Amino acid sequence: MAAANMPLVAADDEWSPLKSVIVGRAENSAFPSEAAHMIEATMPEEHHANFRSHNPFPADIVAKAQLELDNFAALLEREGIKVYRPRKVDWVKVGGYTGAMPRDCLMTVGNTLIEAPFAWKCRRHEVQLGYSDILDQLASGDSSSAPVRICRAPLIIGQDTLYDGLLKKPEANGHSRHANGGQKWAINNSRPAFDTADFMRFGKTIIGQLSNVTNHKGFQYLQAMVPDGYRVELLETTDEHAMHIDATILPLKKGVLVYNPDRVTEEELRKHNVFRDWELVAYPFVPQKRSADCPPMYMCSPWLVLNALSLDEKRIMVEEKDTQFADWVREKFGMEPIMIPFQHVNSLGGSFHCATVDLVRES
């Protein structure tokens, strides 16, 4: 595919050769502030107190995360991949979260780019503030390339209803889960909500999950937004803290899926036709205690190791300290891990998959 007639948006899967991508940026990232019951449902307990409005992440972590992202972007450019970066935004000042996790807010399906109708109020302006220049550029692309369709998220007029009936009530025993009246997730189904990171593309089939940020109306809305011929299916997971599917399943290449056996079973995966002939392999992970010199994982579990990004069916981006995982994919599947530092980005809430949006994959 020559650069001149490369489409601006065209990707159907997670493994075909990557040609164009958005790489996030970290400056001015702040702890997202949401209702207490939401933070309790999704974030590691020891860090709950940090999730206050306008509370910046530690400056040295943000600065190092920015260097890691810049280094990653430069590596991709050297590989001949077109890289877009979001606009620099003062997320601390606007009461937002970050520009480092574009996977959560944008998703490519064929020539369509879909914006997440976020559950979280603090993220509702993320695309407008950080990515509207990129969207304008993609939308006004020259006519020789395939036309790009951009689906912006619907505006929420007036009071949001998504947390109605779910706000934490004081409980004598301190167990907030019961405050939700047995309800599984931290949101109701009163309007469509999803984060794009709750979905992954496997050709014409998109596999997603319901979670603490994605509801059934969100799933139906996404199905209505994808181009004709694409189908969205829901995978049953057992993760009660679910938020983003990209530490639960990882397609290494066509036909090979690694999964997190704490959250999903082979039996559930096999129910989806798209995986019928696939090799489905549980990652035999033994989470190690993080050494004291690693920045804290404020927002993620150790399973973030599965948040790798395939550049093609051989090369995969892996955090440089995740040697156990890199050795495993190299020896078992003949992959070629490319290892670079990313621990400070991890500290802000994600790894290579979260920090990117693939715009073009050649297939």
Exposure on the CB side of residue 225, measured as CA atoms within 13 A = 26
Cα–Cα dist 231/140, whole Å: 28
Take residue 101 and report the two structure tokens written for it.
Answer: 């996790």
Q: 8 or 119, CB closer to ligand ARG? A: 119
Catalytic residue (choose from 104, 195, 198, 246)? 195
Exposure on the CB side of residue 138, measured as CA atoms within 13 A = 28
Q: How far is the CB of 350 from ligand ARG (least distance, A)?
A: 4
Q: How far is the CB of 248 from ligand ARG (least distance, A)?
A: 7
Q: Determine whether 47 is an active site residue.
A: no
Q: 8 or 109, CB closer to ligand ARG? A: 109
Amino acid 129 reads L
Q: 44 or 227, CB closer to ligand ARG? A: 44
- Other C-beta atoms closer than 10 Å to the C-beta of 53 total 13
* All residues at 6 or more sequence positions from 39 whose CB lies less than 8 Å from its CB, including other chains: 48, 51
Cα–Cα dist 244/353, whole Å: 11
Cα–Cα dist 27/19, whole Å: 26
Q: 8 or 252, CB closer to ligand ARG? A: 252
Residue ranges that bind ligand ARG, judged by CB under 6 A: 101, 103-104, 197, 243-244, 246-247, 300-301, 303-304, 307, 349-350, 354
Q: 221 or 298, CB closer to ligand ARG? A: 298
Residue 317 in contact with residue 340, Cβ under 8 Å?
yes
Q: How far is the CB of 149 from ligand ARG (least distance, A)?
A: 23
Contacts 24+ apart (CB under 8 A), 173-177: 176/36, 176/37, 176/40
Catalytic residue (choose from 105, 122, 300, 354)? 354
CA angle 130/131/134 to nearest 5° reads: 140
* 3-class secondary structure, 138: helix
Catalytic residue (choose from 37, 244, 344, 353)? 244
Amino acid 210 reads L
Cα–Cα dist 114/353, whole Å: 17
Q: How far is the CB of 277 from ligand ARG (least distance, A)?
A: 28
Q: 101 or 210, CB closer to ligand ARG? A: 101
Alpha-carbon 304 to chain mean position: 11
Q: Determine whether 195 is an active site residue.
A: yes
Q: How far is the CB of 191 from ligand ARG (least distance, A)?
A: 22
Cα–Cα dist 220/254, whole Å: 26
Q: How far is the CB of 83 from ligand ARG (least distance, A)?
A: 19
Q: Determine whether 354 is an active site residue.
A: yes
Alpha-carbon 25 to chain mean position: 14
Cα–Cα dist 268/303, whole Å: 19
Q: How far is the CB of 23 from ligand ARG (least distance, A)?
A: 14
Amino acid 21 reads V
Q: 44 or 203, CB closer to ligand ARG? A: 44
Active-site positions read 195, 244, 354
